[in-house]
């Protein structure tokens, strides 16, 4: 099973019913899977911070949700992440990393480098997956910590896992 399929299987086992996402090549296969599932409401976003608000509403409505985004989108969420602390709802975010392993685009490096620190400043706990065989277990652990433990959790999916984009060498 590919790592996006592992994530999809874990999300189903956690009874995730809503998936908010900003279109992203790293999440493309997972986005396709959730869009094809009639039991999951998949919502494309224009900005990542909309997803934090959507997950608050998802939780208040009695369902579980997840936010999919790229590391550059974490910077867009910083202010909205205060909503989690204030309103005390769980967060599960899956973040594909840029600005790491083999990055060609210098614009991705600053936020890629700052992603972990920015999340920690907002009291979001971080788990990281770097190899395909560990993705399912890491996402499952984060999901349990979020939905059963009430924590704000992010899984960082390493650029080494996702693969560095190459346009020209």
Instruction: Assess contact for 16 and 64: CB atoms under 8 A.
Output: yes
Q: Domain containing 30 — which CATH number?
A: 3.40.50.970
Is residue 132 in a domain? yes
Is residue 168 in a domain? no
Is residue 85 in a domain? yes
- Structure tokens, 96: 């594909």
Task: Please state the domain count of the chain.
Answer: 1
Is residue 80 in a domain? yes
Domain hosting 84: range is 3-159
Report which secondary-structure segment, H or E, holds 4: helix 3-13
Is residue 167 in a domain? no
State whether residue 22 is helix, strand or coil.
Answer: coil
Q: What is the pLDDT of residues 100-136, one digit of tens each?
A: 777 677 788 778 888 999 999 999 999 999 999 999 9
Is residue 166 in a domain? no
Instruction: Give the predicted TM-score (pTM) of the model.
Output: 0.92
Cβ neighbours of 147 (radius 10 Å): 20
Is residue 142 in a domain? yes
Is residue 13 in a domain? yes
> What pLDDT score was predicted for residue 168?
58
> What pLDDT score was predicted for residue 92?
98
- Spatial separation of the C-alpha atoms in residues 97 and 160, rounded to whole Å: 9
DSSP states of 81-121: THHHHHHT--EEEEEE--SSTT---GGGHHHHHHHHHHHHH
> What pLDDT score was predicted for residue 114?
85
Q: What is the pLDDT of residues 39-69, one digit of tens each?
A: 999 999 999 999 999 999 999 999 999 999 9
């Amino acid at each position: 099973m590919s790592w996006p399929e592992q994530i999809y299987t874990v999300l189903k086992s956690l009874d995730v019913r809503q998936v908010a996402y900003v279109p992203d090549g790293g999440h493309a296969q997972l986005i396709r899977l959730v869009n094809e599932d009639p039991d999951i409401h998949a919502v494309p976003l224009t900005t990542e911070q909309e997803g934090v608000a959507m997950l608050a509403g998802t939780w208040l409505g009695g369902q579980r949700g997840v936010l999919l985004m790229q590391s550059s989108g974490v910077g867009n969420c910083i202010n909205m992440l205060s909503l989690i602390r204030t309103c005390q709802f769980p967060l599960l975010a899956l973040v594909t990393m840029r600005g790491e392993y083999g990055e060609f685009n210098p614009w991705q490096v600053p936020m890629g480098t700052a992603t972990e620190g920015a999340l920690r400043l907002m009291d979001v706990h971080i788990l990281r997956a770097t190899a395909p065989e560990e993705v399912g277990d890491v996402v499952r652990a984060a999901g349990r910590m979020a939905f059963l433990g009430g924590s704000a959790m992010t899984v960082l999916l390493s650029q080494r896992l996702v693969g560095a984009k190459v346009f020209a060498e």
